Chain A
Amino acid sequence: MRNDEDVVRARHRVRELAQQAGLRLVDQTKFVTAVSELARNTIVHGGGGRLHAGLLHDGARQGVYATFEDDGPGIPDIQMALTDGFSTGTGLGLGFGGARRLVNEFDARPNPTGGTIVRVATWR
């Protein structure tokens, strides 16, 4: 992901997956919105990066996940970054904390090779 058109592509791809996973419309919308926030974060703060997304299976349960990996400077204090109002760049500072409220699972950690890895998932 390098630019804002890639953010649109990420939204479309993840919408398809969320539909395939059988998520309700409101959960699809929340997941897509979270992905939009995180994809833009990856580009604006991480200088671009990679998105992996797919379906999850746990017995009869189905879900969808998305992982964002960037090679940017990383986030010094991830806990702080999850606080509403925290922002290092342009925007409303809702990107991280806001996205976390829209999904079932949220995990952000430093990438061993530099940068940040953020993983989100929502189950049906």
Chain B
Amino acid sequence: MDRVNRIPILKLGHLLLVSIQVDMHDRMALALQEDLAERISQTGARGVLIDISGLEFIDSFIGRMLSDIAGIARVLDAETVVVGMRPVVAITLVDLGLTLPGVRTALTVERGMDMLPPPTAVEDLDDEEEAESAGDR
């Protein structure tokens, strides 16, 4: 996995935010899944927001990645919301026969954040990974 370009994972208060802005090849999608699991575990984040407004299509591989991320996050005690799906992507997804099992969706980042657990005073995230995530991962 060394040479794989990685999708950055940003910490936003008590949440993790992922914005997919590039056309991912399959190993990149798998790397994101692993990186997110790692970051949830490190930070104790209770929510993950995945912005897919930059995605021009979702095929069965990316669809499965989104379902898997939601499933992995759930067993790590975090909730996932996928936001910003383009209308043509939604139409294609349904034609393809994908239902994204276990994935919650919202139209906008704001509405997605409302669906995730609110911050609590005792749940401040560990900050040690911040420098790394802001860098060139």
Partners in one complex: yes
Chain A residues near B (Cβ < 8 Å): 3-5, 7-8, 11-12, 15, 25-26, 28-30, 32-33, 36-37, 40, 84, 91-92, 94-95, 97-99, 101-102
Can you give 7 A-B contacts (C-beta < 8 A)? A7-B25, A7-B26, A25-B88, A26-B88, A30-B91, A99-B96, A101-B97
Interface centre among B24, B56, B61, B91 (most CB of A within 10 A): B61
Cβ contacts B52-77/A at 8 Å (1 or 0 each): 00001111110110000000000000
List chain A residues, Cβ under 8 A from B57.
Answer: 11, 29, 32-33, 36
User: Is the Cβ of A94 less than 8 Å from the Cβ of B96?
Assistant: yes
Considering the complex, give the chain A residue whose CB is closest to the CB of B87. Answer: A26
Known A-B contacts: A32-B57, A97-B97. Give 17 more (CB < 8 A). A3-B25, A29-B89, A29-B92, A33-B57, A33-B59, A36-B57, A36-B61, A91-B64, A92-B60, A94-B60, A94-B97, A98-B95, A98-B98, A99-B96, A101-B95, A102-B92, A102-B95
List chain B residues, Cβ under 8 A from A33.
Answer: 57-59, 92, 96
Q: Is the interface of B mostly helix, strand, loop or mixed?
A: helix
Check B27 for interface membership: any CB of A closer than 8 A.
yes
Check B23 for interface membership: any CB of A closer than 8 A.
yes
Interface centre among B91, B96, B98 (most CB of A within 10 A): B96
Considering the complex, give the chain B residue whose CB is closest to the CB of A91. Answer: B60
Q: Which of B23, B88, B97 contacts A8 (CB 8 A)?
A: B23
List chain B residues, Cβ under 8 A from A11.
Answer: 23, 57
User: Is the Cβ of B64 less than 8 Å from the Cβ of A92?
Assistant: yes
Considering the complex, give the chain A residue whose CB is closest to the CB of B27. Answer: A4
List chain A residues, Cβ under 8 A from B27.
Answer: 4
**Distance in Å: Cβ of B58 to nearest Cβ of chain A:** 7
User: Is the Cβ of A37 less than 8 Å from the Cβ of B95?
Assistant: no
Q: Which of A7, A26, A40, A97 contacts B91 (CB 8 A)?
A: A26
User: Is the Cβ of B23 less than 8 Å from the Cβ of A12?
Assistant: yes
**Distance in Å: Cβ of B74 to nearest Cβ of chain A:** 19
> Given A7-B26, A11-B23: A102 and B61 within 8 A (CB)?
no
Q: Which of B25, B88, B92, B98 contacts A94 (CB 8 A)?
A: B98
List chain A residues, Cβ under 8 A from B97.
Answer: 84, 94, 97-98, 101
